[in-house]
Structure 1
Amino acid sequence: MYTWFDALLVTLLAFVTALGARRGMHGLVWGLSGVAICVLVNALLNVPLLAGFLALLLSAGASLLAVRLIPEPGGQAWRRWAGGLGGLALGGVLLATLTLNFPIEQRRVGQRVQAVYPATTLPAPIYDAVEDSLIKRELTGLWDGSSLLQTLIIPDQLR
């Protein structure tokens, strides 16, 4: 069953994709550099404030480079499609990150410790929406996925 949380995530994905398409080739650079910067910063830094500052500097540099190298970003339809792909890439990362970064609760079951996602300590409307989310069910496999995807989507769970 779709929940309001799923609707919010799909709306976010559509918005970021449309924003990339509107920007044309700059949208492609924006989306792909955003994903690359997230991987790089998450892999290299354990200090959140420093990571945020580095991400800000790298994104400003990517923006300036895109403006200088691509003087005419829009116009033709293929450029809009390329921008949409960049927006889709960044939107997909945002969607997965928002879906999989709620608190995890640990329960003791006999001698084992079992992880429960999302934590039952969340407010009831949020817990119910995330627990019943179809998108969450599809994306929970990323916890066992490649280390690159884990670094991109759930870097705090790796530490």
Structure 2
Amino acid sequence: MMTWFDALLVTLWAVVTALGVRRGLSGLSWGLGGIVVCYLANSVSSSPVVSVLLVAALGFGGAVVTRRLIRAPVETPWHLAAGALGGFVLGALLISTVALSFPLDVRVTPKGRVATYPSVSLPPGIYDAVSQSQIKNELLRVWKASPALRTLLIPDQARLR
């Protein structure tokens, strides 16, 4: 069953994809550059201030380079398709990080540490929607994925391992 949280995530994904289409070829640069900037910010520093400054500098630099290299953002249909791809990929990153950004509950049992996601301390309406989310359930595999993917999507959890 799809929850309101799933509907919100799918809508967000569609909006970011549409923005990529609207920007055309520069939407591809925007989407792929966004992923690179997020990965670098997550892997370089654990300090939020340093990460924000790094993202701002890289984002501004990427925008200037894209503006100079791609003068006319929408010229042909393949430019629209490239923009859709960039928006789709950046949207996937965005909804994945939103779906996995709620707090964990960690308990110590005789078998060791056991984590449950999301935390039962969330308000009931949010907890029910997130815990029953199909998108969140598919993304739970990220905790056992490669270190690079964990760094991109759940950097605070990737540093704990």
Q: Which residue of 1 aligns with 2:35?
A: 35
The separation in 1 between residues aligned to 2:112 and 2:44, in whole angstroms, is 32
The separation in 1 between residues aligned to 2:73 and 2:96, in whole angstroms, is 28
Written as runs of structure 1 = structure 2, the 5 A alignment for 1:78-157 is: 78-157=78-157
Match of 2:108, SS state, is: strand
Deviation at residue 108 of structure 1 after TM alignment? 2.9
For residues 54-78 of structure 1, the C-alpha deviation after alignment (integer angstroms, 9 at most, x for no partner) is 1011011101101101111102111
Written as runs of structure 1 = structure 2, the 5 A alignment for 1:50-61 is: 50-61=50-61
User: What CA RMSD, in Å, does the superposition of the two structures yield over aligned residues?
Assistant: 0.9
Match of 1:113, SS state, is: strand
55-64 or 102-111, larger mean C-alpha shift:
102-111
Matched to 2:75, the amino acid is: G
Q: Which runs of 5+ in 2 are unaligned?
A: none
The separation in 2 between residues aligned to 1:126 and 1:118, in whole angstroms, is 10
The separation in 2 between residues aligned to 1:143 and 1:121, in whole angstroms, is 21
TM-score w.r.t. structure 2 length?
0.96
TM-score w.r.t. structure 1 length?
0.97
Q: Which runs of 5+ in 1 are unaligned?
A: none
Written as runs of structure 1 = structure 2, the 5 A alignment for 1:40-51 is: 40-51=40-51
Match of 1:11, SS state, is: helix
Q: Which residue of 2 aligns with 1:16?
A: 16
The separation in 1 between residues aligned to 2:81 and 2:14, in whole angstroms, is 14
The separation in 2 between residues aligned to 1:146 and 1:110, in whole angstroms, is 28
Deviation at residue 111 of structure 1 after TM alignment? 4.5
Q: How many residues align?
A: 159
Q: Which residue of 2 aligns with 1:63?
A: 63
Give aligned-pair identity as a percent: 48
The separation in 2 between residues aligned to 1:50 and 1:4, in whole angstroms, is 35
The separation in 2 between residues aligned to 1:44 and 1:12, in whole angstroms, is 28
The separation in 1 between residues aligned to 2:147 and 2:155, in whole angstroms, is 9
Matched to 2:46, the amino acid is: N
The separation in 2 between residues aligned to 1:69 and 1:95, in whole angstroms, is 29
